[in-house]
Amino acid sequence: MNIQSVTTVLQNSRGEVLICKRSPKVSYFPNAWVFPGGKLEVPISNWTGEEDYVVDTALQEIFEETGIVLGNRRTSQTREGSWKDQVEDIEKTETLVSRLRFAGRRQTPPFDKGIFDTSYFYLQDGYFDEIRCEGDGSEIVAIEWVRPEDAIVQFSKGERNYPPPVLYTFRLLSEFGESFPDEGRKHTDLPPGIQTPVEFAPDYFVIPLPAHTAHPFTSTNLGIIRGSESVLFIDPGWNTSCGWADELIRKYSAKRVYVFLTHHHHDHWDGLQTLAEVYPEAEIIGHPETLDKVKTDLQVIETTSYVIDLGGREVEFVSAPGHTSGHMIALDRSTGIVYGGDHVVGRGTALLDPRTGSMKQYLETLDLIEKLSPRMLIPSHGRPNYRPLRMIERYRKHRLEREQQIFLLLNGGRTIEDILRTVYKDVPQKLWKYARYNITLHLQKLIEEGKVVEEKGLYLSKADSNPN
């Protein structure tokens, strides 16, 4: 589902751009610095992004988030109603509005079902030289003017969180200046990852590409980490519908190429053949159980613990079983970002493989990740998480509560189907297949711990079992 939205880049005569800090309480990009903007309340069929209603929405969002009404000498103290009702000098306002330049449309990567299709506008004018404003206090908590070059440096030093579209806009502004709109329009129809490099930390890219994966996801995140000498690709799981994968990975060429596979499921290495054709000298890193199931002619490095130096940047590979017995994760030591594979997901909770997964190991791996104190946690499916410790605690709490629900049902003995119908009664039945997997693994954990026994398909708490 595409969500139509609009963003406006306002620049003063000193080359500074207006930037707004999002509240730490919002779920999407907390504490991130963004340009003023928001979604269209009424979608437009076959939209171009230049419609009058889009422009009006842009001006309304600027007013609500910053208090700026174009043409007014001071920012508005009220943020309610229409921006038009706050206009003081109609002629000045109309002149500035007429100078808004369309800078193309860009889509957020398909991490979730909702993809923001955003129309960009640009206005550069000395009018903004004396404008000072404050955030609305809810979604926007701070506002500043910053030079694009300084913003890029702030990002490279890890001082500020600029989401990928914002960062890339700064890069275009720095390179093309007032010609930014002309360059931006060229990018409108390019595919994900090529239209806007999805850079979450300096030289750390995460690009969701179409893959044959499990509901509710439709893509696998290709992780790319660059050092001064080498590049690392993580989970190249794209399918044949991703016709631009060849072009994409060529953009990240290096003297030496590594590939890391978190585990053996096909949606994590289906694109390996394409990668091997582009980089025939690449080396694959993975758990022995993973590489035993992967078909490739590339050189492999079988390991359960390994560190590589990409050139001034070390990446550590750590055994992290639970989702599968051979599952691993990657820690980028320079940024503190953990690529968590399928141990975590961008929405809901992770699914464990019923054949080789382990609930006991899964919980132990949550403890392991917590000890790594990641700054960001990137799943193979869904959007990255900026609050990883909170996510881990939520996962742990959810699993233990499920386990307790199951355990309390076992007096007198229950089958897996009995447990399923009771514990997952509020979950859509199309997801019950996956729920059975988790129930089975919870029961296996309880049996390993000596709390539960299985007798002819019935699961009983140890106290209720037949001693004979």
Which CATH number applies to 2-186: 3.40.50.2000, 3.90.79.10, 3.10.129.10, 3.10.580.10? 3.90.79.10
Instruction: Give CA–CA dist 36/3, Å, rounded.
Output: 16
The share of the chain scoring above pLDDT 90, in percent, equals: 81
Residue with tokens 């464990």: 352
pLDDT > 60? residue 358: yes
Fold agreement between 2-186 and 201-393:
no
Q: Which long-range contacts (CB under 8 A, 24 or more apart) does 301-308 make?
A: 304/328, 308/230, 308/232, 308/258
Confidence band of 112 (pLDDT split at 50, 70, 90):
confident
Instruction: Give CA–CA dist 311/331, Å, rounded.
Output: 15
Which CATH number applies to 201-393: 3.50.50.60, 3.90.230.10, 3.60.15.10, 3.40.50.720? 3.60.15.10
Residue 466: the pLDDT is 57
pLDDT > 90? residue 87: yes
Single pTM value for the model: 0.92
Residue with tokens 């694109």: 271
Helix extents (H) in 10-89: 52-66
CA–CA distances in Å: residue 126 to residues 11, 71, 207: 8, 11, 38
pLDDT > 80? residue 436: yes
Confidence band of 347 (pLDDT split at 50, 70, 90):
confident
Residues listed for the chain: 468
Sketch the domain layout of the chain as residue ranges: 2-186, 201-393, 409-464
pLDDT > 60? residue 370: yes
Confidence band of 284 (pLDDT split at 50, 70, 90):
very high
pLDDT > 90? residue 256: yes
pLDDT > 80? residue 28: no
Rounded mean pLDDT, 115-126:
95
* CATH architecture of the domain with residue range 409-464: Orthogonal Bundle (1.10)
